[in-house]
Amino acid sequence: MEVLVPFSADRPKSRLADALSPSERAAFARTMLADVLAAIGDAGGSPRILATDGFDPTDEPTVPLDPPVTVDDRPLTDAVNAVLEERRPGGEGDPLAVVMADLALATPAALRELFAAGREADVAIAPGRGGGTNALVVSHPRFHVDYHGASYLDHRRIAADVGAGFAAVDSHRLGTDIDETDDLAEVLIHGEGQAATWLREAGFALDASEGRVAVVRE
Ligand SMILES: Nc1nc2c(ncn2[C@@H]2O[C@H](COP(=O)(O)OP(=O)(O)OP(=O)(O)O)[C@@H](O)[C@H]2O)c(=O)[nH]1
Ligand SMILES: C[C@H](OP(=O)(O)O)C(=O)O
């Protein structure tokens, strides 16, 4: 399955500003991207990066699989819809997955489940905590995306409006996008890739001293 991986290369992960410097945020974002691409490849998917201007595939850490890169500096929704649009003539029925680059817990097994759901339904979505759309598969020709806010609900509505069959993919691993400092604890607890190693090497550790487990930096 073809898998589009949107990646914001300029000022990525601004909501991690409390925990990481700008250059650290850029490095950590690329590390998560590398993990996501590796998991997609292991799940049998063919990734294509959809990047903003300024993306350099040779930056460290280099991305695995040497995927094709489409550069589109428009906002996320417009850039993804442009890819959906360009596939329409003749591409009907061929599912396209869109998997975010900040799903640091993604595993091949979790992605295989997503791909399988997307082969059954016209639109399959793994929601993120807080109502986002962390990963989707679309084969319906009239579905379009509208990211940000409670985009999971918006996408369900759009699917209903165009008469597309819908499936929700209930996945802890795909449902955990790494947006805020508290999310880093999830990477330390469950991460199996380079992002977890990167955080440990940067001095992050779990802090289970009170309430929900958090992170501290040594
Ligand atoms: N191509 C593209 N990808 C984007 C854009 N904005 C976000 N992304 C990617 O979409 C996914 C979800 O991004 P967000 O968590 O909403 O945004 P972010 O830029 O990573 O982080 P924040 O700055 O904290 O909002 C990540 O894979 C981003 O790299 C965009 O304008 N264009
Ligand atoms: C792209 C956006 O991500 P969030 O801003 O929720 O992390 C969404 O899922 O709609």
CA distance 203 to 218: 5
Does 213 fall in a domain? no
Mutate to test the pocket of ligand 1, among 3, 4, 8, 148 (most ligand atoms within 8 A of CB): 8
Does 193 fall in a domain? no
Predicted interface score ipTM higher than 0.95: yes
List per-residue pLDDT tens for the chain, 218 residues long: 999 999 999 889 999 999 999 999 999 999 999 999 999 999 999 999 999 998 998 888 888 889 999 999 999 999 999 999 988 755 555 899 999 999 999 999 999 999 999 999 999 999 999 999 999 999 999 999 999 999 999 999 999 999 999 999 999 999 999 999 999 999 999 999 999 999 999 999 999 999 999 999 98
Does 189 fall in a domain? no
Fill in the DSSP letter of residue 119.
Answer: H
Q: How many domains does the chain contain in total?
A: 1
Domain of residue 21: give its range. Answer: 2-178
Does 211 fall in a domain? no
Sheet containing strand 133-138, edge to edge, reads 69-71, 46-51, 2-7, 96-99, 133-138, 123-127, 166-168
Q: Which atom of ligand 2 is nearest to the CA of 133?
A: 9
Mutate to test the pocket of ligand 1, among 76, 84, 176 (most ligand atoms within 8 A of CB): 76
- Check which CATH number belongs to the domain holding 137 and give it: 3.90.550.10
